Amino acid sequence: MNLLHRIQILILVSIVTISCSYYDNFLFIKTLKKAIEHKKNERYTEALSEISRAIKLSPTSTKALVLRGIFIMILKCMIKPWKILLQQKKLDNKSVSVNFYKGITYYALEKLDSSVEAYNKAIQIKGSDTLYLEMNPEGLESELLGNDINMDVIRYYRGLSYYQRKEDIKALTDFLFCVNHNFNLGNSLFYSGAIYLSLGQNSRGCQFLYKALSLGAEDAKGYLEKYCK
């Protein structure tokens, strides 16, 4: 094979590779739009299916990963009752758990400023208290409102809101808090690692991502393949 033929083959391979990349990107955007359309119509099972397909096409898409988390929370019935309760005046705004679940609900509704505000309120109320019993507005113990919410739980979910708002340093601070407290360790390591990569700290980011994958955080795999070869 002479030099000219080799060059022609290399050019052909490059064209095919670029074409495939553009086609995958086209499919990703199309699939993401389908998921968002299902979300608007509250068809969350279909939305989750589409977003899972989108993640396979682009494993390091922050938008897709965040949306998948939102759909899963909604399908686990963490959201709908609170979406209704947000409209009620009786909610005790001095309650840690009320503000925490308000934060989750606002996050699912993609009202990120309100979400962070609610988490901050929960953290402020909680202060240094470690255990107490909350009551619902009727003064009766409630399975949902009667349990203390640990600080690492609040910080993890606030980290997700910061992450979606692209406030990487604030998000990283929350996720590292969770890592240090061994809360949701795989995912906390994953988000910390992804943020370190975005900050240009690849060595530390890859270290966190390898640990995350070893703990079952499969989303780390796409980042490792792309950034940690």
pLDDT, tens digit, 9 for 90 and up, residues 49-86? 676 776 676 666 666 666 666 666 666 655 555 555 55
Q: Is the whole-model pTM more than 0.85?
A: no
117: which 2 tokens? 């505000």
Long-range contacts of 211-216 (CB under 8 A, 24+ apart): 212/186, 212/187, 215/185, 215/186, 215/189, 216/186
Per the CB < 8 A criterion, the answer to whether 178 and 184 are in contact is yes
The CATH code belonging to domain 82-149 is 1.25.40
pLDDT tens digits along 139-161: 323 434 444 688 998 999 999 99
Pairwise CA distance, residues 15 & 20, whole Å: 9
The pLDDT value recorded for residue 91 is 59
pLDDT tens digits along 213-224: 999 988 899 899
40: which 2 tokens? 């608007």
The pLDDT value recorded for residue 110 is 80
